[in-house]
Amino acid sequence: MRRDTAGATGFAGAMVATMVVVTVLSAYMAAAPYLLHYEGDPLIGFDTGRLTGTVEDGAFVPGYDDYLHSYLEVHGHRGVEVRAMLVGTDAPEVVTTVGGMDGEVTWKRVSALVDRDDGGKQIVVFGVGVCV
Amino acid sequence: MNRRGLVSLVDAMLFLLIVSLALSVPLYLDAGGDPVDADPSTMLDDLCGARMRMSDLYPGGDGSLLPLTDMLAMDVVTGTDAALSYAGSYLDEVTGVSPYRLTLGYGDLSVVIGDEVPEPVSGASAEVPVTAGGRLRMTLVIG
DSSP string, A77-125: -SEEEEEEEETTS-PPPEEEEEE---S-EEEEEEEEEEEETTS-EEEEE
Query: Model pTM greater than 0.90?
Result: no
Regarding whether B106 and B46 lie in a shared domain, the answer is yes
In this complex, which of B13, B31, B90 lies closest to A37 when CB atoms are compared?
Answer: B31
The residue type of B93 is: E
Contact B94, A111 (CB under 8 A): yes
Nearest CA in chain A to B11: A11
Put simply, the answer to whether B32 touches A44 (Cβ < 8 Å) is yes
Put simply, the answer to whether A46 touches B38 (Cβ < 8 Å) is no
Taking the Cβ of residue A83 and every Cβ of chain B, the question of whether any pair is shorter than 8 Å is answered with no
Regarding whether A124 and A76 lie in a shared domain, the answer is yes
Regarding whether A58 and A29 lie in a shared domain, the answer is no
Any idea what the Cα angle at residue A41 is, between residues A39 and A44, rounded to 5°?
110
A105-116/B122-129 β-pairing: unpaired
Regarding whether B80 and B11 lie in a shared domain, the answer is no
- Which chain A positions have a beta carbon within 8 Å of B100's beta carbon? none
Regarding whether B3 and B25 lie in a shared domain, the answer is yes
Regarding whether A113 and A68 lie in a shared domain, the answer is yes
Put simply, the answer to whether A15 touches B34 (Cβ < 8 Å) is no
Regarding whether A61 and A5 lie in a shared domain, the answer is no
The Cα–Cα gap between B115 and B37 comes to 21
Regarding whether A61 and A8 lie in a shared domain, the answer is no
Regarding whether B6 and B55 lie in a shared domain, the answer is no
For chain A, how many structural domains are there in total?
2
Put simply, the answer to whether B2 touches A7 (Cβ < 8 Å) is yes
Put simply, the answer to whether B85 touches A48 (Cβ < 8 Å) is no
Regarding whether A79 and A57 lie in a shared domain, the answer is yes
pLDDT at B106 (0 to 100): 95
Put simply, the answer to whether A7 touches B27 (Cβ < 8 Å) is no
pLDDT at B8 (0 to 100): 77
Range of the domain at B75: 40-142
Q: Three-class SS string for chain B?
A: CCHHHHHHHHHHHHHHHHHHHHHHHHHHHHHCCCCCCCCHHHHHHHHHHCEEEHHHHCCCCCCCEEEHHHHHHHHHHHCCCHHHHHHHHHHHHHHCCCCEEEEEEECCEEEEEECCCCCCCEEEEEEEECCCCCEEEEEEEEC
Tens of pLDDT along chain B (143 residues) come to 566 677 777 877 888 787 777 666 655 554 444 433 668 999 999 999 999 999 999 988 888 899 999 999 999 999 999 999 999 999 999 988 889 999 999 999 999 999 988 888 999 999 999 999 999 999 999 98
Could you report the predicted ipTM of this complex, rounded to two decimals? Answer: 0.70
Q: What percent of chain A has pLDDT over 90?
A: 48
Regarding whether A125 and A60 lie in a shared domain, the answer is yes
Range of the domain at A28: 1-40
In this complex, which of B8, B46, B65 lies closest to A123 when CB atoms are compared?
Answer: B46
The Cα–Cα gap between B20 and B52 comes to 53
- The lowest-confidence range among A16-20, A58-62, A79-83, B94-98 is A16-20
Return the CATH number at B136: 3.30.1140
